[in-house]
Amino acid sequence: MSKIGGRQVEIGIAVEATPGTALAPTIYPKWLTYSMNPEVEKASLVSARGVRPMTSDSIIKKTYGKGALSVVMDANVSLYVWYMTLGSISTGTHAGETTIYDSTISVQNANASMKTFTLTSSEGGVVVERYPNCMINSMTFECDNDFAKYTLDIIGQNPATASAPSTAYIEEALMAYKDMTIKFGTSLANAASQAVTPLRDFKITVNNNLQVDEAFLSGSASMISGGLLPGSMKITGSYSLQFSDTVELNKYKANTKNAAIVQLSGASMGVVPTTEIVKISLARLQLNKAPKVFNIDGLVLLQQEFECEYSGSETKAIEVLVTTDNSSASM
C-alpha cells in the first residue's frame, strides 16, 4: 500500500480563460498548509418505518471543492493572489524597462466578471486532483516578524483526476517583515509623501462572501461553470506598534480615517535597475476597537483593528500595484 508524505504534495495554479475549463498550472507557489478536499453535501431521510434506526435513505445535494491554501509571499505569487482576489487588472511596462511590468489590481464590481482559476494537487504519484472554476472566498495577508504569507479560503468545482503536470519551480525572492513599510496620511497622495511608521505587525483580510448556493441550479448536483459569484466585499485588518505618542490613539478616539500605503520590496531586476514591489493602497481606515494593550513584562502597545471603507474621493477602497517581470498576459 502506497503512503504519501506531506512534502510530496505539489500545488499548482492557473488563471482560467473560460470559467470551469481546467488548465495545467502556470505557477507552483511554496505552500505551508493545504486542506482542499471534495465536499459532498448529503440529505438523510429521517422517517418513521416501525423501526428504531432514524435514517433510511440519503441523497447527494451538492458536490464541490472547498479548503484553504497558505503560501509564502513573493512578487509573482502576489500577482496571482491579488488578481484572483480583487478581479480586475491593468498591466503596462515599467518606466525605462521593456521586460518589467507594473500591474494595477483593483476591485471588479461586476459579479459575473470575476476571474476563476484551476487548482491542481499532485499527491505523491498516487493521484492528481484538478479543481476547476475556483474562486477565493477570502484572502488574508499577514506579516509579523517572519516571512510574509497569504492564506486563501477557496471554493470551486468538484475535482477530476488528471495526469501529472510537468512541474516547474521558479526561485523568486521571498518577502518578509524586514521588507515591509507603511505610511499613513489624510489621502493616498498625502500618505505617499509621509515618513514611514514603524510597526510590529500588519494583517488584512479581503472577504468576497461568495454566493455558493447561487452556483447550483436544478438538474445537477454539480456547480455550474461560471456560476460562482462574489457578494459584498468586506476588508478588515489590524496593525500594532509601540505606544510612544498619542497620534494613533487619537485617530481611534476622534474617528479619524487615514489612508494607508503598505509596501513590500523584493529583488533588484531590469536595466534601470528596478525593485520588485507589492504596494497595497487602502483608501480609508475606520479604526474600531480600543487599541491600548498593557503588558506587565513588556512594552505598552497599540493594536489598531480596522475596516477599510470605500472612499468616494479616491473612488476605491483598495488597490494593489505589483511590479515584477511577469506580465498578466503570461498568467
Does the pLDDT of residue 238 top 90, yes or no?
A: yes
Position 329 scores a pLDDT of: 64
| pLDDT above 60: residue 1 | no
Predicted confidence band of residue 142 (pLDDT cuts 50, 70, 90):
very high
Mean pLDDT, rounded, of the chain: 91
Is pLDDT larger for residue 162 or for residue 324? 324
- Higher pLDDT: 330 or 289? It is 289
Mean pLDDT on 28-52:
89
- State what percent of residues in the chain have pLDDT above 70: 98
Return the pLDDT at 270.
Answer: 78
Please state the domain extents for the chain: 6-43+59-330
Q: What pTM value is reported for the model?
A: 0.92
116 pLDDT above the threshold of 70: yes
Across the range 263-291, mean pLDDT stands at 91
* Residue whose C-alpha is closest to residue 138's, from 58, 205, 215, 193: 205
